[in-house]
Structure 1
């Protein structure tokens, strides 16, 4: 337990161990999954899709890696700085997860515009988190949710360009992330952080399946 710069980290040894296990499992499979995806895209996908695979894979591993480092680090000035990176990385993961799906429609001005918009919002969120650390946490949560569900605006054109299975998995993953937010803000619950990160890892796994399916399955004609 500890406090730094007004931010309180009130987790006991067992909570930290549980959180570390969740992160370790997630990061291990993220490294394997990203490698498989990029290898597949290198062999079978055009250049644009390969770039999207790299963006997604690096974003996934980077986010889980930073989160792992931040959450197991002792309370200190270093942890305070890692907190900025951890919260900023969430914006990167959301934008990176959108990228493989929106890249499929880069020839459509609406989808291309959405891709640019998502990354601009991510950049804004990173700016806020780095320049005003610890002061806009509620705003950040709203931005995370807004970014995550803003895909509904382009759901119809995206659905016509990716497999139905991918679309279904995107929605399921989004629901899991959103349910996890309940535990993210439920700070008095013991093991709250580990439970929240369990939802994150589960949702990330579902979205990874959506991305891999998007690369490996063809889109049926209607």
Structure 2
């Protein structure tokens, strides 16, 4: 049987999990900016800011959405929460595409990623509650879009970085299953959060250790 709303206890877990991560993301943004300023690589500061802000945005939006009582404010943050997913996917790709891959290929994929994000955000803002399956498929397509230029990625980053990228992508993708089933069983949305957090940590390590530095 499907549930319309999560229980207060579930929402507490959902809010706290991403609230803690939002605070970590703010510290991560500061760290990324410091690395970006000191790096000699092209577009590092820009990429660091875009990526860091995408992390902060997603986890902040999610924290407020799950922490607020039902009403207009919660509805607004619900939309922002879903928009934040698009921002994080495109934001996470930005350093890899502009710094590691670079050139025409990197910039074209960068433009495609953010175009997808823009379309997804428009759908969420103007067609709230509709086309949820399409939105979820767009998350997956955006997340795995790099496979169309897989060799460029293999040539651009070392094997350990590639493993981190794949592990993070798998974590995000596996979490979608729990997200789609969260109306059928308690705490599955919290499990989805754990998968998202794991994916974010893996990609943060990748970007800091192998892309920016």
Does TM, normalized by the shorter one, top 0.5?
A: yes
Instruction: Find runs of 4+ consecutive structure 1 residues off by over 3 angstroms.
Output: none
- Gap runs ≥5 in structure 1: 1-7, 218-222
Shift of 1:76: 0.7
Conserved 8 A contact 1:170-1:206: yes
Partner of 1:192: 188
- Gap runs ≥5 in structure 2: none
Conserved 8 A contact 2:95-2:212: no
- How many residue pairs get aligned? The number is 209
Shift of 1:169: 0.6
In structure 2, how many angstroms separate the alpha carbons of the residues matched to 1:45 and 1:99? 17
Secondary structure (helix, strand or coil) at the match of 2:128 reads coil
Conserved 8 A contact 1:165-1:213: no
Partner of 1:43: 38
TM-score by length of 1: 0.89
Shift of 1:177: 0.6
Partner of 1:180: 175
Conserved 8 A contact 1:111-1:154: no
Partner of 1:203: 199
Conserved 8 A contact 2:12-2:66: no
Partner of 1:55: 50
Conserved 8 A contact 1:173-1:204: yes
Conserved 8 A contact 2:90-2:117: yes
Partner of 2:126: 131
In structure 2, how many angstroms separate the alpha carbons of the residues matched to 1:215 and 1:98? 11
In structure 1, how many angstroms separate the alpha carbons of the residues matched to 2:109 and 2:211? 20
Matched, 1:94 2:84: no
Conserved 8 A contact 1:15-1:194: yes
Shift of 1:21: 2.1
What's the CA shift string for 1:83-129, capped at 9, x where partnerless? 1111111111100000000002332x222211111110110101111
In structure 2, how many angstroms separate the alpha carbons of the residues matched to 1:64 and 1:51? 20
Conserved 8 A contact 1:183-1:192: yes
Partner of 1:4: none
Q: CA RMSD in A?
A: 1.5
Tell me which of 23, 26, 29 is aligned to 1:31.
26
